[in-house]
Chain A
Amino acid sequence: MNRGFYSASAAMMNQMQHFDTTANNLANVNTHGFKRHAAIHHDFQRGLLKRIDATKSQLQISTNGETSESTVDRLPKTMGVLGTGTVLQATWKDFSDGALENTEAPLDFALSGKGLFSVKTPDGKTLYTRHGGFQLDTEGFLVTGKGYQVQGQNGSLQIGQSEKVDVDAAGQIFVNGQYLDTLAVVEFEQPQLLTNMGERFYQAPVDQQALFATQTQVHQRVLERSNVDVASEMVNMISVMRSYQIAQKALQSEDDMTGKLINDIGKTA
């Protein structure tokens, strides 16, 4: 009896976490370079149900009509499996491309494909981002809005006080027509292993090697919009809401049954 309570409440808690993910997607619907998260559920540990009374007395009828009782050893009878609810297995990062928005600013970049920009924090850590709204700092380095230096294939990019910065689809940077370096656009074999750091940055685990992306195109004067689709998040929200209600109803039915068991059985008429 009590199992049902916990299965239903597990479902409710699970839908809540799913909903948290949806809410975060919706909150970031206008965040440039944001990649949506999808919640993945799986069923919780299933239990094998068996009858407890492994041994039982058996009534035997002999050919001459006499009955005798004997104890027979039997293997516990399997009744089948019973699920015990559901858990949020993971939040899956959807790295599909967002729409491109023309900004006309020469230091705004967007990527199409699997690649990520590499940036270096002041304490020497390398982080990755899909947001290419860059600026120049006072020393003329190409930096993110947080001041982290954008990395080229040969290190930080000092563009200086220049008039004209052109970047082609392969990420090659030309300052006043002179080749400077190529943007370090990298990809990972298992991008799902990246951790979101907030502020639109990802951090890679130590054992994941950043490889220069070959299939990714760089666009200049555009920014990539968030890849959150409001319509599908709304549908998500409705389905989460309804699943939540269904789980609650299951919980209430369970409660009703328990109530009956306690109050009605054994009641004398």
Chain B
Amino acid sequence: MIRALYTAASGMKAQQTNLDITSNNLANVNTSGFKAFRAEFEDLHYQVLRQPGAQVASNIISPEGTLIGMGSTVVGTPRFFGQGDFQLTENPYDLAIQGDGFFRIQHPNGSQAYTRDGSFKLDANGNLVTSNGYLVDPNISVDPNASNITVGSDGTVSQTVNGTTTTVGQIQLTRFVNPVGLESIGKNLYRQTPASGQEVSGVAGTDPGFGTIAQGMLEMSNVRVADEMIRMIVSMRAYEANSKAIQTADEMLQVANNAKR
């Protein structure tokens, strides 16, 4: 009986986390480059009252065992790295990646960070930076007097100063074998981990799998509101069902207590 109480409580806790994930997805429904999370659950271990296939008589083995599960838990929150929709902004520093690549960013703490959010700006020195002022790696520096900035689908940045067009650099893309293993550090940034594998740098458009860069566009969040709503309903109902189990367990304990008058 006490078992059932904790089993149901584990279910409630798991569903609570499910709702936390859903709320975070919904809060980021308009965050450019955001990739939706999903809560993954698994069953906890089992108390084996009788092993399946155990000998029950001299030459009879039990065809099925008696296993009592101990509930569920959240095992992970993998992100879904599917492509988000594109939004046309016509801002020359807004870049979107169509494909699996990431932009590499120079984190102020000296390490590298990665992002799908290509809403770049220029800082006071003409460097291409993220909305938080972090430099793009390798650094792209644009002439303050440049009139026309073009970013090619391969990431080549060119500027026009006094009628002459020159190339100022190329935006590199990076990929990971297992992007799900990247660590999210907020500000739309990811950090490499042993699970994601080493970064692989490449040129957009030419190296396979990196994707191409589109200028004047932003990749929107890939959160699908309808899906999240359904997840919310499902986790809410599962939460309710588990709370009913706790109630019933409680009632049964009460019945047991009332057996002695």
Q: Note all chain B residues with C-beta closer than 8 A to A19.
A: 1, 4, 248-249, 252
- The interface size bin for chain B is 35 or more
Stretch in contact with the other chain, from A61-69, A109-117, A179-187, A237-245: A237-245
B98: CB under 8 A from chain A?
no
Q: Are B255 and A21 in touch, CB under 8 angstroms?
A: no
Q: Note all chain A residues with C-beta closer than 8 A to B53.
A: 193, 205, 207
Docked CA distance A199–B40 (Å): 11
Map CB proximity to B onto A27-49 as digits: 1 under 8 Å, 0 otherwise: 11111101001001000000000
Stretch in contact with the other chain, from B6-14, B132-140, B145-153: B6-14
Stretch in contact with the other chain, from B102-110, B157-165, B191-199, B213-221: B191-199
A-facing residues in B1-54 (Cβ within 8 Å): 1, 3-5, 7-8, 10-11, 14-15, 18, 38, 40-46, 48-53
A interface secondary structure, majority: mixed
Q: Note all chain B residues with C-beta closer than 8 A to A27.
A: 7-8, 10-11, 14, 69, 71-72, 242, 245
Q: Note all chain A residues with C-beta closer than 8 A to B187.
A: none
Docked CA distance A131–B261 (Å): 49
B-facing residues in A169-214 (Cβ within 8 Å): 190, 192-200, 205, 207
B interface secondary structure, majority: mixed
Report which of B41, B69, B82, B194 forms a contact with A21, defined as CB distance below 8 A: B69
Docked CA distance A93–B70 (Å): 15
Q: Are A199 and B42 in touch, CB under 8 angstroms?
A: yes
Q: Note all chain A residues with C-beta closer than 8 A to B15.
A: 30
Q: Are A28 and B66 in touch, CB under 8 angstroms?
A: no
Q: Note all chain A residues with C-beta closer than 8 A to B100.
A: 163
Docked CA distance A215–B50 (Å): 31
Stretch in contact with the other chain, from A75-83, A120-128, A136-144, A148-156: A136-144
Q: Are A16 and B43 in touch, CB under 8 angstroms?
A: no
Q: Note all chain A residues with C-beta closer than 8 A to B252.
A: 15-16, 19, 240-241, 244
Interface size on A, residues (CB 8 A): 68
Q: Are B63 and A193 in touch, CB under 8 angstroms?
A: yes
Q: Note all chain B residues with C-beta closer than 8 A to A145.
A: 40, 42, 75-76, 78
Q: Are A90 and B65 in touch, CB under 8 angstroms?
A: yes
Docked CA distance A194–B67 (Å): 11
Q: How far is the CB of A231 from chain B (nearest CB, A)?
A: 10
Leading 10 A-B pairs by shortest Cβ distance: A27-B11, A24-B69, A198-B45, A138-B197, A23-B4, A192-B64, A27-B71, A31-B41, A23-B7, A90-B64
Additional A-B contact list (4), CB under 8 Å, known A15-B252, A23-B242, A27-B14: A29-B238, A88-B49, A90-B64, A136-B178
